[in-house]
């Protein structure tokens, strides 16, 4: 047997899971936030970023100990006319929110070393990729089990190495009548690699209200469902 190949578990020092937001988002792990287009995934995340960068509180009332840095990488909206105004509207400290400028750094993909370099340089507590589908080198990357697994392994190693939580925002596929976990886009390996999966959907009785369900938690008990509303008059509540 090759020397040094095996490590005894008795040589490993046990440590507790560390949480950014218990029991929904763990530090050093991948969380998947999914839902149908227009159901409020990005809006919820921007509210979360505002609270994290100002040392506020999570949607369930749990307080943060101190303000933290965030990388928010979003390809679906304009930086100047949409993303920054929305962050400001939610009350975020934009001096603590960074992104990779894709006008200069084109062709950014999910396993791109430039993402790792940005995390290493900025040392955020939270990294958000929105949406995951925009950062694939081809449409088939999430469909092929081996490719999907390697992509998620890269991200998982970066989360662990740089002590941050990574949240991937994804759209659901259009299949109806199947278990929620199997409505995630791509290979089941994507869901398997995520330690927590959160799903947003509209309340059937009030379309302004969104409900967040934790449909997977590999690190502890499932969290309670969380509700919020998005209205033209009052915004996110």
Mean pLDDT, consecutive 10-residue stretches, the chain (237 aa), reads: 83 96 97 90 93 94 94 93 96 98 90 95 97 75 67 92 96 60 61 91 85 94 86 53
Query: Which pLDDT score is estimated for 205?
Result: 82
Q: What's the domain range around 84? A: 26-56+64-236
Q: Give the pTM.
A: 0.90
In a domain, 143, yes or no: yes
In a domain, 185, yes or no: yes
Do the Cβ atoms of 236 and 208 come closer than 8 Å?
Answer: no
Q: How many domains does the chain have?
A: 1
- The answer for residues whose C-beta is within 8 angstroms of residue 46's C-beta and 6 or more apart is 72, 86, 87, 90, 92, 236
In a domain, 183, yes or no: yes
Average model confidence (pLDDT) for the chain? 87
Q: Which 3 state secondary structure label does DSSP give 227?
A: strand
Helix axes 145-161, 113-122, angle to 10 degrees: 20
Q: What is the pLDDT of residues 23-74, one digit of tens each?
A: 999 999 999 999 988 888 999 999 999 999 999 999 888 999 899 999 999 9
What is the CATH classification number for the domain harbouring 190?
3.40.50.300
In a domain, 133, yes or no: yes
In a domain, 220, yes or no: yes
Do the Cβ atoms of 135 and 108 come closer than 8 Å?
Answer: yes
């Amino acid at each position: 047997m090759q020397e040094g190949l095996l490590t005894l578990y008795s040589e490993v020092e046990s440590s507790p899971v560390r949480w950014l937001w218990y029991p929904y988002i763990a530090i050093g792990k991948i969380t998947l936030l999914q839902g149908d287009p227009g159901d409020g995934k990005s809006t919820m995340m921007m509210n979360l970023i505002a609270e994290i960068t100002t040392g506020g509180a999570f949607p369930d009332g749990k307080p943060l100990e101190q303000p933290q840095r965030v990388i928010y990488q979003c390809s679906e909206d304009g930086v100047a006319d949409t993303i920054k105004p929305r962050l400001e509207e939610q009350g975020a400290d934009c001096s603590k929110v960074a992104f990779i400028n894709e006008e200069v750094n084109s062709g950014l993909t999910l396993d791109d070393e430039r993402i790792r370099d940005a995390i290493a340089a900025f040392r955020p507590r939270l990294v958000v990729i929105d949406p995951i589908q925009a950062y694939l080198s081809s449409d088939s990357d999430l469909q092929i089990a081996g490719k999907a697994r390697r992509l998620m392994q890269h991200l998982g190693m970066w989360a662990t190495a740089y002590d941050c939580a990574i949240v991937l925002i994804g759209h659901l596929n259009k299949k109806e009548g199947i278990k929620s976990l199997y409505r995630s886009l791509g290979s089941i390996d994507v869901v398997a690699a995520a330690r927590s999966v959160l799903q947003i959907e509209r309340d059937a009785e009030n379309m302004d209200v969104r409900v967040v369900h934790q449909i997977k938690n590999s690190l502890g008990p499932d969290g309670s469902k969380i509700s919020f509303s998005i209205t033209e008059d009052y915004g996110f509540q």
